[in-house]
Chain A
Amino acid sequence: MQTSARDRGLAVLGSVVRPVVYIGLSLPAILIVLASFTAGDNLRFPPEGFSLRWYSAAIASEPFMSALWTSTKLACIATACSLAIGLAAATAMDRYTFLGREAFRTLTLSPLIVPMVVLGLGLLQFFAWSGLNQTFYGLLIGHVLITLPYVVRTLTAGFILFDKTLEQAAMNLRAHPVTVLRRVTLPLLAPALISAAVFAFVTSFGNITLSVFLGFSGETTLPVQIFTYVEHNYDPILAAVSTLVILVTLIIIAILERLIGMEKLA
């Protein structure tokens, strides 16, 4: 049969392409992780021997650890702000018709479209004028801006799937609007809120362009720290730091996966 021959051909092709994609996606991370255990002085693959010395070096390194702390703090606060603003914006766009709603929607998504360099330059000018230059708040505002599109998009999708008759049913069952929000709306939107938070956190945590533009005196974010370090040195401490970051991200995702999974069961 002709169709079955074609199907078989496509199936074979698929079984070849899929591993290539998976390997292509994960190989860089795997190489870095493997290289981080090297006993030698050079960052290279395959690693020379096995040791944890670069991990102790990384943890002992003040610049890296303070950069990790700055990045984590920044990403957490930016995520919280972005969630609050994004939730309000997504709610307004979902439930109310107002003049310029579509323009507003485009505006909230625009940081995705405007090149990061242009955005960074613009913010730099603006902050220089408003006195927020070289401050944590300036950097924070920049990070909220770039995470907002992800939050708004994810929450908008969540709202589309949310059945509003459930809120009416709750109100019909004598629930005050605050109770409706607490016991019906938020629990059912939790998966969307959590994915939005993950997107926002990862976007902020990994951002380098904007952080370079808006970096403030004394403290740097981890990506910026790694970037500047690489300009002068190329040793396995980078691999160890990266592996730590990957580990932390994996743990966070695993926790959230469990939370969302439990939410679906409940």
Chain B
Amino acid sequence: MIHPTTTVHPSGTVHDSGVLAHENLPAVVALSGLHKAYENFVAVQDFSLEVKKGELLCLLGPSGCGKTTTLRMIAGFITPTSGSIRIADEDVSQLPPYRRDTGMVFQSYALFPHMTVAQNVAFGLANIGMSSARQRARVGEMLDLVELSHLAKRYPRELSGGQQQRVALARALALQPAVLLLDEPFSNLDAQLRVRLRQELRKLIDQVKITTLFVTHDQEEALMLADRIVVMQQGKIEQIGTPREIYEQPATRFVADFIGWCAILDGAVRNGVFVSHGGLHIPVQAGDQDRASLVLRPEHLHPSASGAAPERALQGVIETADYYGSMTRIGVRVGDELVLAEAGLEHGMHFEIGSTVTLSLAPHGGTVIPGGQA
């Protein structure tokens, strides 16, 4: 377990969106020792985190892990049991939601059904005492930004899910909040639209350069959108890192299991070789450990029919085969262990359950996590 306050340092790999640039920027949102306990369970415990200026940070975890509770505490809808929340260098822990500089997009979008698109966007502007002339200008500007100017006079129920999301975004951004909070913004959309809107959202956020905190249970969404990901479980931080770090160097067994597909083997490391309880020997780059786990992703193992060099290959029997179109994911029984591999069409092979297959191990094969199960 990584302590929440220690930042995981990028191992020289530069993330696509240049996350390293955020390292020295001021924190827009700073949470320290945030704790929320209910009568019979603890939703969030000892949660400390800094969201840097301009960063898109994602809280990722299964439902009930406390990510939404954290977001709602920042917005002010839930009062923390202890700990402090700072937004733009101001302690807002005791302030009501309407005095906090956040803009939130709700899971259901929460557009006012009795107001038009333009009235929805103008709602917040009226509350900060903006003159109606300036309100009109800003509403026009925001609707241009989300490309919905032609729908300004429509009511929310007349819009598609994607359009409603953009209205919610325009409404939140109109006030130019210090931080944009997004609560599972894609969960109400169908799969195809989701991918397209994800890209659009990222483009929009980059365009307005706003600090964003984003909550999701969808790992693919997090990997694609975020500069940094905070993986949460049972109210605690499991790991903080760039998408690449989270995927390639999972700090805990939970992170490895939650992000992407993998087989996790338990065993020990002896002289640069991981020996699993099931008797597998796999060379790894790690020091000796009595108890360790090895994370084997499908991309570490390349299936082939012919035999390869014995020390970098595993031989096993196919136990499961799931056809995904672009590839077939196979579960291979090697000794007493079950590992996962992906077979593309280029292999020109049929992977039938019960047939023997050789899996050649990629040179960097597998990530070792200290402390495996006995």
| Docked complex Cα distance between A174 and B106 (Å) | 15
Within 8 A of A (CB), among B71-117: 75-77, 96-99, 102-104, 106, 108, 110-114
Which A160-187 residues have a C-beta within 8 angstroms of B?
163, 165-166, 168-177, 179, 183-184, 187
Query: Given A165-B106, A179-B127, do A171 and B114 touch, yes or no (CB 8 Å)?
Result: no
Residues A169-222 near B (CB distance < 8 A): 169-177, 179, 183-184, 187-188
Asked whether A172 and B75 contact (CB < 8 A) given A184-B112, A188-B113, the answer is yes
Residue of A nearest to B171 (CB): A173
Closest to B174 in A: A173
Answer yes or no: B175 CB below 8 A from chain A CBs.
yes
Q: Report the bound CA distance from A35 to B75 in whole Å.
A: 66
User: Contact at B175–A166, with CB atoms within 8 Å?
Assistant: no
Contact yes or no, B97 A166, CB < 8 A: no
Q: Is B106 within 8 A of A168, CB to CB?
A: yes
From residue A89, how far is it (CB to closest CB) to chain B in Å? 25
Cβ contact within 8 Å between B98 and A174: yes
Is B21 located at the chain interface by the 8 A CB criterion?
no
Total residue contacts A-B, CB cutoff 8 A: 62
Whose C-beta in chain A lies nearest to the C-beta of B177? A172
Judging by beta carbons under 8 Å apart, are A171 and B108 in contact?
Answer: no
The docked-state distance in angstroms from the alpha carbon of A7 to that of B213 is 57
Bound Cα distance from A266 to B128, whole angstroms:
24
If A166-B112, A183-B123, A187-B114 touch, does A175 touch B106 (CB 8 Å cutoff)? no
B72 → chain A, closest Cβ, in Å?
9
Contact with B along A232-266 (1 / 0, CB 8 A): 00000000000000000000000000000001001
Return B360 CB to nearest CB of chain A, in Å.
52
CA distance A254 to B97 in the complex (A): 41
- Say yes or no: A174 contacts B108, CB within 8 Å: no
| Chain A residues whose CB sits within 8 angstroms of the CB of B97 once the complex forms | 168, 171-172
- How many of chain B's residues have a CB under 8 angstroms from any CB in A? 24
Contact of B110 with A166 in the complex, beta carbons under 8 Å: yes
Question: A166 vs B123: C-alpha distance in the bound complex, in angstroms?
Answer: 12
Count how many chain A residues have C-beta atoms less than 8 Å from C-beta atoms of the other chain.
20
Contact across chains for A163 and B124 when beta carbons are under 8 A apart: no
Q: Which residues does chain B contribute within 8 Å of A172, judged by CB atoms? A: 75, 97-98, 102-104, 172
Taking the closest CB of chain A, its distance from the CB of B184, in whole angstroms, is 12
* Complex: A187 Cα to B113 Cα, angstroms: 10
> What are the residues of chain B within 8 A of A263 when measuring CB–CB?
114
A183-B120 Cα distance, complex, nearest whole Å: 11
Least Cβ distance of B13 to chain A in Å?
Answer: 37
Bound complex: CA A76 to CA B348 (Å): 83
A177 to B96, CA, bound (A): 10
CB pair A168–B127 under 8 Å, yes or no, is no
Interface contact A188-B114, CB-CB below 8 Å: yes
Contact, CB under 8 Å: B127 / A174: yes
Task: Assess the A175–B123 pair: CB atoms within 8 A.
Answer: yes
Report the separation of the CA atoms of residues A172 and B76 in the bound assembly, to the nearest whole angstrom: 8
A163 close to B110 (CB less than 8 A)? yes
Interface string of B50-82 (1 = CB under 8 A from A): 000000000000000000000000011100000
Q: Could you give, for residues 163-182 of chain B, a 1 whenever the CB lies within 8 Å of some chain A CB and a 0 otherwise? A: 00000000110010000000
Starting from the known contacts A168-B77, A169-B110, A169-B112, 14 additional A-B residue pairs (CB-CB under 8 Å) come to A163-B108, A166-B112, A168-B97, A168-B110, A169-B106, A171-B98, A173-B124, A173-B127, A174-B98, A174-B128, A175-B98, A179-B127, A187-B114, A188-B112
Residues of A near any B CB (own CB < 8 A): 163, 165-166, 168-177, 179, 183-184, 187-188, 263, 266
B residues with a Cβ closer than 8 A to A are 75-77, 96-99, 102-104, 106, 108, 110-114, 123-124, 127-128, 171-172, 175
4 closest A-B pairs by CB: A173-B124, A169-B110, A174-B127, A171-B97
